[in-house]
Amino acid sequence: FIGLEVAASLAARGIETHVVSLDARPLERVLGAELGDFVRQLHEQHGEVFHMGASIASIAPGAVTLSTGEKLPADLVVIGVGVRPRLALAEAAGLKVERGILVNAFLQSSDPDIYAAGDVASWPGGEAGAPIRVEHWVVAERQGQVAAANMLGAREAYRDVPFFWSAHHEVMIRCVGHALAWDEIRIEGSIAAHDCAVHYVKGGRTVALATIGRDVQALEQARLLAQA
């Protein structure tokens, strides 16, 4: 997301912008093929050039060489690769880890006197309580509040439904829920018309929803997911 958002900002300033990704479509692993194709077309309409199925082989002053052998002139390179939690301290303390520090609904680690929140915390927010880790400031802020309250003696479970948004030129995509995989995608409305709700369905129910131009529906889906 961050790479495409930066690309949109640069292109909006009239700067020649290229996007390089190993994936076949931008954001396909998170949003699916349909929204991935839409996002690419939207960015291309604003002059951005995509190099999909490629990686960076080398960076030198004034140029980037791709794994395909193509060389791109470049004055600025932005690398958006997400984060990898530093778990050495947690492991040294004997805490259980799984892609992050494993915590319960109260954000307590395997040592009940040690709490974790934010990008480093792997909490039971996935399907059937599976541990998930979300790299977003809203999650970090809310988990920090809950963890602090519990350190002070409260017994408050963190039950917020993951929620984030991403701006791509004039289009805002909002997502609620969490889906690493799905059985099917159901689309209401029209993606091309910037008026749609994209349901990620697993086991016969919507486990995540992406919307464009339907903020109220996104909020309603978040409420339903919180009750599930």
Q: DSSP assignment of 70-107, as one string?
A: -EEE-S------------HHHHHTT--BSSSEE--TT-
* Res 6: pLDDT: 94
Number of Cβ within 10 Å of residue 197's Cβ equals: 20
**Is 90 exceeded by the pLDDT of residue 43?**
yes
* Res 1: pLDDT: 80
Sorted by where each starts, the structural domains of the chain and their CATH numbers stand as 2-73 (3.50.50.60), 88-151 (3.50.50.60), 163-227 (3.30.390.30)
| Among 125, 129, 105, 127, residue whose Cα is nearest residue 116 | 105
176 vs 180 pLDDT, higher one: 176
Mean per-residue pLDDT, 22-47: 94
**Is 80 exceeded by the pLDDT of residue 119?**
yes
Mean per-residue pLDDT, 163-173: 92
CA 136 to chain centre: 7
pTM: 0.83
Report CA-CA distances (Å) from 135 to 81, 84, 120. 12, 10, 8
- 95-114 pLDDT per residue, tens: 999 999 999 999 999 999 99
**Phi, psi for 130 (deg, rounded to 5):** -65, 145
Angle formed at CA 70 by CA 64 and CA 75, multiple of 5 degrees: 25
Query: Please, which pLDDT band fits residue 198 given cuts at 50, 70 and 90?
Result: very high
| Among 106, 134, 105, residue whose Cα is nearest residue 120 | 134
* Res 2: pLDDT: 84
Mean per-residue pLDDT, 148-163: 94
* Res 126: pLDDT: 78
Paired with 202 in beta bridges are 205
**Is 90 exceeded by the pLDDT of residue 82?**
no
Looking at every residue in the chain, the average pLDDT score rounds to: 93
**Is 80 exceeded by the pLDDT of residue 127?**
no
**Is 90 exceeded by the pLDDT of residue 61?**
yes
